[in-house]
Amino acid sequence: MSETIPRKGSDTRERLLDLAEAAVLEKGFAATSIDELIAAVGITKGGFFYHFRDKGDLAKALMLRYLERDRVILDDIFARADDLNDDPLHGFLVALKLFAEMLANLPGAHPGCLAASFCYQDQLFNREIRDLNRSGVLAWRARFRQRLDRIAAKYPPRVEVDLDDLADMVASLVEGGIILSRITKDKDVLPRQVLLYRDFIRLMFQP
């Protein structure tokens, strides 16, 4: 296959997205302006509108990129875990360990969750963007529920539990861990929360 050389336009678009994401995570979407983005990139307003129709189109592009990046990261983690273990419980525990290690290896505290930031300012976005955000949360539920179904089929849980709620715990502890990490200035809070969930899963299902 021939190597594809990135075009300058695509580089500019990604730079705009990078800066916009950082600004949204820092101060919210409402406080992030087109003017600050074009000044940081060094382009005109016309250059911005070449890549995005308006600020809403920028929001959609941010969410789509975030969801795809999320999917790729989790796909990779679970694929690596599956390569290491055929047992559904042990494979899930390995995946959670890999996830915690990835978070622990971040150079600083987790920068934040774009889905949560959009949720906090939900009124700013149209139905399409809100639906995209919801689909991302439900994708996490479906991904982890699928794993938990396989585990429960082989290792019935020790107590009665709603597997959807157990799957949702991952998203809730990650979001909560991000908040705790930023407030306490302790970057290891988040990976520790993931490892606690891992211990809980082991206790819940191990025979």
User: Does residue 19 lie in a domain region?
Assistant: yes
Q: Sorting pLDDT into bands at 50, 70 and 90, what band is 9?
A: low
Least confident of 107-116, 121-130, 188-197: 107-116
User: Does residue 139 lie in a domain region?
Assistant: yes
pLDDT in tens, 14-51: 999 999 999 999 999 999 999 999 999 999 999 999 99
Shared-domain flag, residues 180 and 146: yes
Token pair of 3 as six digits: 């190597």
pLDDT in tens, 147-164: 999 999 999 999 999 999
Token pair of 24 as six digits: 């949204």
Least confident of 1-15, 61-75, 184-198: 1-15
Q: Sorting pLDDT into bands at 50, 70 and 90, what band is 137?
A: very high
Shared-domain flag, residues 16 and 103: no
User: Does residue 60 lie in a domain region?
Assistant: no
Shared-domain flag, residues 45 and 108: no
Burial 185-205 (b: 16+ CB within 10 A, else e): eebbbbbbbbbebbeebeebb
